[in-house]
Amino acid sequence: METYHCDKYEEAGLSFSFVQDNCSSSVRGTLRGLHAQISRPQGKLVRVTKGEIFDVAVDIRRGSPTFAFWEGVSLSADNFKQIYIPPGFAHGFCVLSDIAEVEYKCTDVYTPGDEIAIAWNDQQIGIQWPLESPILSPKDAAGQFLEALWDQLPDYQT
């Protein structure tokens, strides 16, 4: 199975370079995110190699006509779908299967001091997660609402 071919993505209008690959494994009910880097924003090409997740992208660019809008998609090892999360968007997912393994390619390196965590249940965003009481890491449980992060958010550039 071919999971990435730069020429085919470029033909589809997606031209970028990847500098880091990541893999995570989580159990059913885990919710990771919403995460974004500010001064070193990452684009992410996300796919699932085991199990199933509900994956979400949120536009957090101040001044964007789609600010705080979200898009969610089911990704699984069976459906072979991928999603590209552009720089300037927050990313998160929840695990729908017993275990899920998620792989993603990034357009910039992970920089821990540059990362923000947005509350998974921020009403301004209003994500309709397919679970009610997620398992959260301490970082994700401490996520802040967009309103509190306003001064840190990237500006929309046309």
The correct answer on CATH 3.40.50.80 for the domain covering 6-152 is no
For residues 7 and 32, what is the distance between their CA atoms, to the nearest angstrom? Answer: 31
Name the catalytic one among 91, 104, 110, 156: 104
From the centroid of its chain, how far is CA 95?
13
Phi, psi of 114 (to 5 degrees): -100, -5
Identify the residue with better confidence: 14 or 156: 156
pLDDT, one tens digit per residue, over 105-148 is 999 999 989 999 999 999 999 999 999 899 999 999 999 999 99
pLDDT, one tens digit per residue, over 57-91 is 999 999 999 999 999 999 999 999 999 999 999 99
104 annotated active-site: yes
Name the catalytic one among 4, 35, 84, 156: 35
Total-model pTM? 0.93
Q: What is the pLDDT of residue 103?
A: 97
4 annotated active-site: no
Nearest to 149 by CA among 72, 68, 70: 68
Domain ranges for the chain, please list them: 6-152
